[in-house]
Amino acid sequence: MTDTSTPLKVNARALATRESILAAAERLFAERGVEAVSNRQISEAAGQGNNTAVGYHFGTKTDLVRALVREHQSGVEEIRRAMLEDLGAGADLRDWVTCMVKPFTDHLGALGVPGWYARCVAQIVAHPLLRDVMIEDALTAPELHATAAGITRMLPDLPPAVRASRFDMVRTLVLHTCAEQERALASGAEAGTWDDTASAIVDAIVGLLRAPVSGPDAGLDR
């Protein structure tokens, strides 16, 4: 009789190994930065005797980062999808901004304490090459596109160049504020909840997007 369970066991082991590597990479990237961590260190931290395990399961470090981000991004976008479905026709700017921020903070909160992902992402976006990989992957999500389009509709008088610049500021604000919240929670310092963090970020973003335009862009046709 053929043992059909062997391939399943092999697949389960491979999946467990991949998950261990991703978890180790996430923590090490968060603690030390992407550039300072080698594939060998990740393999060792994941409990793999084979120092080539990262390359075998993921390929290059860029491939590893992409896999790590995509694993989390799917959870974030699932939350965002549900929030978008609940938006009514009368949604205002704050509602749309909440759809941008809260899926990320809710996901981070669900990861527990200590969490590493927000700090990991902050390190990735600081890397000159991997930053573009991560942003490119994130921007392919249709839910995020729909949210950005909704925000844009709420800002008809904001010049496109100013809007693009402020969206860059928004991304920095969200990532680094969440990284600091995650760090505070991990250290046991006094920190509010992730819901508190989300509300504070949304307040700041709404104010940023509604701020008056000055300088060379102030007189542009809108």
Angle between helices 142-153 and 130-139 (to 10 degrees): 80
* 99 and 170 belong to one structural domain: yes
| Cα end-to-end span (Å), the chain | 74
Residue 64 lies in a domain: no
Residues 41 and 77 in one domain: no
Q: 180 to each of 25, 71, 138, 174, how far by Cα in Å?
A: 19, 22, 21, 10
| Residue ranges for the chain with pLDDT beneath 70 | 1-10, 216-222
Averaged confidence pLDDT in the chain:
90
Residue 177 belongs to what domain range?
71-217
Considering the domain architecture, whether residues 106 and 178 belong to the same structural domain is answered as: yes
Residues 38 and 87 in one domain: no
117 in the same domain as 40 = no
Q: Rounded to an integer, what distance in angstroms lies between the CA atom of residue 48 and that of residue 44?
A: 5
Asked if residue 94 is part of any domain, the answer here is: yes
52 with 152, same domain? no
Question: Quick check: is 123 in a domain?
Answer: yes
Domain boundary among 13, 33, 59: 59
Q: Are residues 109 and 203 in the same domain?
A: yes
Q: How many domains does the chain have?
A: 2
13 and 82, same structural domain? no
| Dist. CA 114–CA 143, nearest whole Å | 28
Q: What is the pLDDT of residue 52?
A: 83
pTM for the predicted model, two decimal places: 0.88
pLDDT digits 0-9 by tens, 22-61: 999 999 999 999 999 999 999 999 998 777 889 889 999 9
Which two three-digit tokens encode residue 82?
């549900």
The C-alpha atoms of residue 192 and residue 197 are separated, in whole angstroms, by 7
